[in-house]
Amino acid sequence: MCLNYAGDARCYATGKECLLGVRGRSASNYGDECLLHGKFDVWVTQNDNLLISDIGAPSDEPKQCLALGINITLAEEIAHRRSAQLGTSVLTTERRCLGCSRSFWMTEHGGRSGLAENGHSHLCPYCVGKAAHERVLEKLGSLRYWCG
């Protein structure tokens, strides 16, 4: 079932009619049936900031979920529109790589497990896949031992 499908064949994320009609009820957010589906969620946090996340809900209980499993374009549109209404900031779970300074999302890494997950939160998929440089090891400090 689409995570944004409302019972009246409307999209909760957009407030408009579901692009797939009543078929949207059974469309998976990860099956690429709908153009709006993706890996991002939009949350209103406790302090009214807007959070675009590719790793689920914020650690503090969110006030409200605005959309689940949507593409980045729609996520940014929803977050910026609501932040303008509330007069607050838009935050993201996007990271900056300690190796090359490139921005990346955690979900750009394929499957992750064990101690390597810590390395994935600090290094982009490109840098985590190549041999570590001294500069990267220096920036990681004691965390380098967790980057399997």
Of 83, 49, 58, 71, the residue nearest 3 (C-alpha): 71
Residue 117 has what pLDDT? 58
Amino acid (1-letter code) at residue 65: C
Spell out the residues 6+ positions from residue 52 whose beta carbon is closer than 8 angstroms to its own.
Answer: 40, 41, 42, 72, 75, 76, 79, 90, 91, 92, 93, 94
Name the percent of the chain lying above pLDDT 70. Answer: 80
Spell out the residues 6+ positions from residue 138 whose beta carbon is closer than 8 angstroms to its own.
Answer: none
Place of tokens 């890996």: 39
Average pLDDT (94-103) is: 89
Q: How far is CA 65 from CA 4, 41, 124, 146, in A?
A: 10, 8, 28, 33
pLDDT of 83 above 50: yes
pLDDT of 113 above 50: no
Output 114 or 8, whichever has higher pLDDT. Answer: 8
Residue-wise pLDDT tens digits, 46-82: 999 999 999 888 888 899 999 999 999 999 999 999 9
Residue 56 has what pLDDT? 86
Rounded distance between C-alpha atoms, residue 66 and residue 118, angstroms:
29
